[in-house]
Amino acid sequence: MNIEKVIFGFFILLAFTLNFGFVLGQIDVPHQHDVFELFAAIVINFIATALKFGDRTQVGALHLATSLVADLQLVTAALIWGHAEYVSGTGMTPGVTSMVVSFAAGALAANLVSVVLLIGETLQHRR
């Protein structure tokens, strides 16, 4: 067992599950989407992105691209949330919540691609 691959897989799966946990729930109900879960998803996605920088293969480039897309979508969701709460003062209306969850769902799609790539790469690995 390679501990480096265990850590790599751990962070990819954790990023996916945290992202999934945030998106789960009705799209326009603010209390079903926790801000700390979004924060945790962003931090773990950044760590997963950093782990992908060392791989110079074609699959590694695709891993990095999916992670960068997920980072961008999650940061955008957080900026929309912060703007609604602290700049415009409108708070988390159903419209704003839908926008935040939609961006997080986009990140979830990117994280799903990353998990599929990881599983495909693992299944091709020969001893």
Q: What is the mean pLDDT of the chain?
A: 94
* Tens digits of residue pLDDT in 31-73: 999 999 999 999 999 999 999 888 888 999 999 999 999 999 9
Query: Is a pLDDT exceeding 90 seen at residue 1?
Result: no
Contacts of 73 (CB under 8 A, 6+ apart): 103, 104, 106, 107, 110
Report the share of the chain in percent with pLDDT over 70.
98
pLDDT band at 127 (very low <50, low <70, confident <90, very high): low
Rounded Cα distance between 127 and 124, Å, is: 10
Domain that holds residue 56: 3-125
* Tens digits of residue pLDDT in 95-112: 999 999 999 999 999 999
Given a contact cutoff of 8 angstroms between Cβ atoms, the answer to whether 40 and 76 are in contact is no
Into how many domains does the chain fold? 1
